[in-house]
Amino acid sequence: MSARILDGNRIAAEIRAEVAAEIRALAGLGLRPGLAVVLVGNNPASEIYVRGKVKNSEELGIYSEKHTPPAGISTEELLEVVQDLNRRDEIDGILVQLPLPAHIETKNVLMAVDPAKDVDGFHPMNVGFLSTQRPGLVPCTPAGIVEILKRSNVPVAGREAVVVGRSDIVGKPTAMLLLNANATVTVCHSKTRDLAEVCRRADILVAAIGRAGMITRAFVKPGATVIDVGMNQITDRTEFDKFFKGNSKREQTFTTKGSTLIGDVHPEVAEVAGAITPVPGGVGPLTIAMLMANTVRAMRLRRGLRVPELSKA
């Protein structure tokens, strides 16, 4: 048996097309959503992410701005940047790219973002809205995970879901969304006893721990749906051989680039799972697509407009 591959690129393209149609309809009312991205300093990985976000915004018709204060900016100065964006009515979404430099008080900066413009869904007010099932803004990666399940016709209600990882950005909000969709949810972490046994109960297993290939076939119930949130870079030949020996396509990438990506799920899991998201090309593309959807949602909520359901599933 080989698992069905849940194609994140295809699903993200579907969502982007829906968002673009919505933006065109809003343009007819004289409205255009606006997104501001704040990138502090020169983190190469963050610069790539931000470029992708700005490019996607422009392609879909969202007005976008990039603010790039220097790495040495103080917390107080950065708070002023955020407050200025809070005051501007044409900006519907504010995204502060993480990580911030070590000397900046990250929590204070994230708390300063107007909850109505918090397109990352990190503000405690939006966390509260999610937990009490009120309209708000949901973190992009967890929202993307739910869209993958819905659009791949994976039943959630009444199913047993296990989330490995309890971060505020992915683990906890994913668990809350699955609970809101009537799954029975277990959240695991580094102190969980007999992790493999708990994971084997899952009809839906979400791996979000940041450890390359940690979830092996011993963790997976045959036929389960496995969502791999991990994004780990392999540069060591021994480690590459452990996961991808004999995989000619991966071998070519590794030889050319000197690295390849792997999720938190071991490739062997595809032999036992019923469905699985690949890395790359699984959850990753959904994160930016959901950011675009959140920006339009923020605009609608701020202006008291009806907020349509994203997918018809």
Which residues 6+ apart lie within 8 Å of 191 measured at CB?
A: none
b/e burial code for range 41-78 (CB count within 10 A of at least 16 → b): bebeebeebbeebbebbeebbbebbbbeeeeebebeeb
The dihedral over CA atoms of 307, 294, 167, 77, expressed in degrees to the nearest 10, equals -130
Measured CA to CA in angstroms, residue 288 lies from 218, 266, 267, 297, 298 at distances of 32, 25, 25, 14, 15
**How big is the CA angle at 218 (ends 215 and 222), to the nearest 5 degrees?**
100
241 is catalytic: no
120 is catalytic: yes
114, 120, 228, 264: which is the annotated catalytic residue?
Answer: 120
Give me the DSSP letters along 136-173: ----HHHHHHHHHHHHTT---TT-EEEEE---TTTHHH
92, 97, 118, 172: which is the annotated catalytic residue?
Answer: 97
53, 117, 172, 221: which is the annotated catalytic residue?
Answer: 53
136: its two tokens:
């708000």
Catalytically active residues, by annotation = 53, 97, 120
